């Protein structure tokens, strides 16, 4: 079973081929990503119109390259007939930018009709977690070179897990667009434990970087800067949210019922459940207050009040102040998600914890989680943390093998606000 994945939800045009083999292992046969990030860096954030136009230009060459990389010269397969090898197409339907999603979905619909392949609609956030199910790599992917490396730097030095995550799986998906904690009892059977009420954590990194005058995207530039800073120099607030989402409330009441019956339920019982630790009635996040606190701190550090324009603050901050603010912000932002993940792990006792999204690349996150949790923690390779189509194809493989319904290629619509 080989699935072509297509991803265009934000500023990366991506296509990949993943193979599902007997026993459930996923092998990465190709992974191609064309990013328009350099174009957006000029504006300090993604410009939707530029992203959409860039997808239109890149989508066809990216798909061609993914098919070529997957099949050329492998096992005598004729590279002029890659479509004979493909069993289905998986495409990101949402959430994401409308104009961007449209390009990928229309390309996938057209190819599904032209080549008579089943089409699978993929939730981008769910797909981020599925990057962790890829455990093997094809010989061509291994040899592929990065565009920049021009034959010098091997692009495909992938660090993959040796085994697939085991259910129940707790997923932390953290990126520029999402901050979600999800509990999977099995494939396609999950509960959203919590999500952000406002900014995503990656968005907070991007906005704080802008305040400090550090380049976009903010995550990598803040983490680089933070290495030399004092993470305890400044005190910054952690949001305290009191509401409990209906899905979490229901999960707890079902778990309580099972507890009452003394765990004599069959194996489809919800999952192991203990009381949440004190102060953890819910798993929602909020990062906009932290971002504002950084702005107020920076204004105070330069002796100005709240009316001082945010885009001029960085000119007045010393390099030492920037470095210490970056380190303190990073510590608090990462502590927030690590605290909630640790609490959810205590409450729901998952067998594996999987990370996904651009912020999963953060070394600070990895260090803090390793100190708090002795569980099986899965981090995707850095190239599979940020947006890519391998994760989309990976989820598509399970949709196809577990007989999930396919989408109608004549009518599949984008869902920019798709939730979990």
32 contacts 49 by C-beta, under 8 angstroms: no
> Looking at beta carbons only, is 108 or 361 nearer to ligand KG4?
361
Q: Which of 205, 285, 287, 378 binds ligand KG4 (CB under 6 A)?
A: 205
The C-alpha atoms of residue 396 and residue 414 are separated, in whole angstroms, by: 17
Among 126, 206, 284, 324, binds ligand KG4 (CB under 6 A): 206
Describe the strand order of the beta sheet including 88-94 as a list of residue ranges. 119-123, 88-94, 2-7, 12-20, 26-35, 134-137
Classify 180 as helix, strand or coil: strand
CA distance readout (Å), 402 to 26, 134, 372 = 14, 17, 35
Does the protein bind ligand KG4 through residue 95 (CB under 6 A)? Answer: no
Q: Could you give phi then psi for residue 12, rounded to 5 degrees?
A: -110, 125
With respect to ligand KG4, which residue has the nearer C-beta, 34 or 248?
Answer: 34
Binding residues for Zn ion, per CB under 5 A? 175, 387
The answer to whether residue 217 forms part of the interface with ligand KG4 (CB under 6 A) is yes
CA–CA dist 380, 206 (Å, integer): 22
Per-residue x/- track, 326-365, ligand KG4 (CB under 6 A)? -------------------------------xxx-xx---
d(CA 300, CA 313): 10
Question: How many Å apart are CA 395 and CA 57, to the nearest integer?
Answer: 26
Residue 206 contact partner, candidates Zn ion, ligand KG4, none, CB within 5 to 8 A by sort of partner: ligand KG4
Interaction between residue 386 and ligand KG4 (CB under 6 A): yes
Cβ closest to Zn ion, residue 347 vs residue 387: 387
State which of positions 174-193 bind ligand KG4 (CB under 6 A): 175-177
The one of Zn ion, ligand KG4, none whose footprint includes residue 415, by CB under 5 to 8 A per kind, is none
Burial of 371: CB neighbours in 10 Å, binned 0-12, 13-18, 19+: exposed
Under rule CB under 6 A, residue 171 binds ligand KG4 = no
Whichever of 10 and 390 has its CB closer to ligand KG4, that residue is 10
The CB-of-253 to ligand KG4 minimum distance in angstroms stands at 33
Nearest to 127 by CA among 357, 366, 361: 357
If contact means CB under 5 to 8 A according to the sort of partner, which of ligand KG4, Zn ion, none does residue 205 touch? ligand KG4
Partner touching 276 among ligand KG4, Zn ion, none, CB below 5 to 8 Å by kind: none
Residue of 148, 153, 174, 140 whose CA lies nearest to 31: 140
Using CB under 6 A, list all residues that contact ligand KG4: 10, 175-177, 202, 205-206, 217-220, 223, 357-359, 361-362, 386-387
């Amino acid at each position: 079973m080989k699935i072509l994945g297509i991803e265009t939800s934000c500023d990366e045009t991506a296509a990949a081929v993943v193979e599902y083999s007997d026993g459930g292992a996923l092998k990465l046969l190709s992974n191609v990503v064309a990013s328009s990030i350099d174009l957006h860096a000029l504006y300090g954030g993604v410009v939707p119109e530029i992203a959409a136009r860039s997808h239109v230009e890149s989508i066809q060459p990216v798909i061609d390259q993914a098919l070529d990389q997957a099949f050329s010269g492998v096992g005598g397969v004729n590279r002029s007939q890659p479509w004979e090898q493909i069993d289905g197409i998986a495409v990101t339907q949402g959430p994401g930018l409308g104009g961007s999603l449209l390009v990928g979905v229309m390309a996938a619909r057209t190819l599904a009709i032209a080549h008579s392949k089943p089409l699978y609609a993929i939730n981008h956030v769910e797909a981020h977690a599925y990057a962790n199910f890829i455990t093997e790599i094809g010989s061509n992917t291994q040899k592929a070179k990065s565009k920049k490396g021009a034959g010098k730097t091997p692009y495909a030095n992938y660090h993959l897990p040796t085994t697939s995550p085991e259910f129940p799986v707790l997923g932390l998906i953290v990126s520029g667009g999402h901050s979600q904690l999800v509990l999977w009892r099995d494939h396609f059977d999950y509960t959203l434990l919590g999500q952000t009420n406002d900014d995503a954590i990656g968005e907070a990194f991007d906005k704080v970087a802008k305040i400090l005058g550090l380049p976009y995207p903010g995550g990598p530039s803040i983490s680089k800067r933070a290495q030399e800073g004092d993470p305890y120099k400044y005190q910054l607030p952690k949001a305290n949210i009191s509401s409990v989402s209906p899905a979490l409330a229901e999960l707890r009441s079902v778990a309580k019922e099972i507890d009452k019956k003394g765990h004599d339920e069959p194996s489809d019982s919800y999952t192991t459940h203990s009381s949440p630790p004190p102060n953890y009635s819910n798993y929602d996040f909020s990062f906009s207050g932290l971002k504002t606190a950084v702005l107020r701190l920076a204004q105070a550090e330069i002796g100005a009040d709240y009316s001082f324009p945010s885009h001029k603050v960085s000119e007045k901050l010393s390099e030492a102040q920037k470095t210490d603010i970056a380190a303190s912000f990073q510590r608090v932002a990462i502590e927030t998600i690590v605290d909630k993940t640790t609490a959810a792990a205590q409450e729901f006792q998952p067998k594996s914890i999987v990370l996904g999204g651009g912020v999963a690349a953060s070394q600070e996150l990895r260090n803090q989680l390793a100190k708090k949790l002795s569980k099986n923690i899965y981090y995707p390779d850095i190239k599979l943390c940020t947006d890519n189509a391998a994760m989309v194809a990976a989820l598509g493989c399970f949709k196809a093998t577990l007989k999930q319904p396919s989408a109608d290629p004549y009518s599949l619509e984008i869902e920019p606000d798709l939730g979990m």
